[in-house]
């Protein structure tokens, strides 16, 4: 009988770098590799502990003087969409979602490139090539799916060749206690649709249908305008020093 235990993950610390969210702050990250048969189990454990996944790396902030990054997860079973969210759902009633294994396509990359060029010209992902995009999607040892959101087209439910225009994509991990939205992007020319909000609402619906209690949104940074949307999906929980604590929009994390 083999009594050897699986090796414990090794953690590493990055060098300081300028914070992408708060000016005049420096960020550091602690990270480990998600590889092998235990990767899904480890990803669950680390995500519940505030880590995020990027390809086969799990990371979380380890900044020396700042604790602004707060992990956020939506409480699926208690969530009720606001009036504005119901309008978003109605505005996108003509969309059809298709779920696939984590495999990239040239159509996805074209949309991804358009999104970056319009929304994140100076971001760390701005120079990603088609190969970089393929690695972002494919380099996973956990339970990952690609969800494509397309305009409804007559006959699209019968013939895959008739599927409508691709306007949004989500890269999503399924975990034991929820769905983790790893990365999502959409057609920036369709701003009135609020596609970012719509994809989160769709993930809440999916998690509820699967009997999963959480949707993980990554980090919220108080004071960062680009992160404000994450705290609109209430109720939710924030990972603080004493563990996950309920946030209903009235208290301050």
Residue 13 pLDDT: 96
Q: What is the pTM of this model?
A: 0.91
**Domains defined along the chain, listed by start:** 12-68 (no CATH), 82-211 (3.40.630)
**Of 151, 209, 199, 213, whose CA–CA distance to 171 is shortest?**
199
Using alpha carbons only, give the angle 84, 90, 95 rounded to the nearest 5 degrees. 130
pLDDT at site 222: 85
- From 1, 29, 34, 27, select the one nearest 14 (Cα to Cα): 29
Find tokens 């994390």 and name the residue. Answer: 253
**pLDDT computed for residue 203 by the predictor:** 98
* Residue-level pLDDT at 156: 55
The angle formed by the CA atoms of residues 239, 50 and 124, to the nearest 5 degrees, is: 120
**What is the side-by-side order of every strand in the sheet holding 69-75?**
95-101, 144-151, 166-174, 178-186, 214-221, 69-75, 236-240, 243-247
The pLDDT value recorded for residue 98 is 95
Mean pLDDT by 10 residues, the chain (253 residues): 64 92 91 95 96 96 92 98 98 96 96 89 74 96 97 68 87 98 97 97 98 97 87 97 90 46
CA distance 49 to 52: 9
Q: Which helix (H) or strand (E) holds 71?
A: strand 69-75
For residue 20, the model assigns a pLDDT of 84
| Contact (Cβ atoms closer than 8 angstroms) between residue 197 and residue 88 | yes
The Cα–Cα gap between 220 and 224 comes to: 8
**Residue 1: predicted pLDDT:** 46
The pair of structure tokens assigned to 73 is 């997860």
Given a contact cutoff of 8 angstroms between Cβ atoms, the answer to whether 213 and 207 are in contact is yes
What is residue 223's predicted lDDT score, i.e. its pLDDT? Answer: 79
């Amino acid at each position: 009988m083999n009594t050897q235990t699986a090796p414990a993950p090794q953690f590493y610390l990055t060098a300081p770098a300028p914070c992408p969210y708060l000016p005049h702050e420096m960020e550091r990250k602690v990270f480990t590799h998600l590889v092998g048969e235990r990767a899904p189990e480890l990803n669950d454990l680390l995500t519940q502990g505030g880590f995020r996944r990027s390809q086969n790396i799990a990371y979380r902030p380890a900044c020396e003087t700042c604790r602004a990054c707060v992990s956020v997860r939506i409480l699926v079973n208690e969530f009720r969409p606001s009036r504005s969210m119901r309008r978003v759902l109605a505005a996108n009633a003509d969309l059809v979602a298709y779920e696939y294994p984590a495999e990239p396509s040239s159509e996805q990359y074209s949309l991804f490139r358009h999104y970056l060029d319009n929304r994140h010209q100076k971001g760390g992902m701005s120079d990603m090539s088609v190969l970089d995009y393929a690695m972002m999607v494919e380099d996973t040892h956990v339970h990952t799916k690609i969800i494509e959101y397309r305009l409804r087209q007559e006959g699209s439910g019968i013939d895959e060749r008739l599927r409508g225009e691709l306007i949004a994509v989500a890269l999503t991990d399924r975990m034991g206690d929820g769905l983790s939205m790893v990365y999502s992007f959409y057609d920036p020319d369709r701003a009135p649709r609020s596609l970012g909000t719509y994809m989160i609402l769709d993930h809440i619906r999916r998690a509820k249908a699967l009997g999963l209690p959480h949707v993980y949104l990554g980090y919220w940074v108080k004071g960062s305008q680009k992160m404000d949307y994450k705290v609109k999906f209430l109720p939710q929980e924030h990972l603080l020093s004493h563990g996950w604590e309920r946030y209903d929009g009235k208290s301050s994390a």
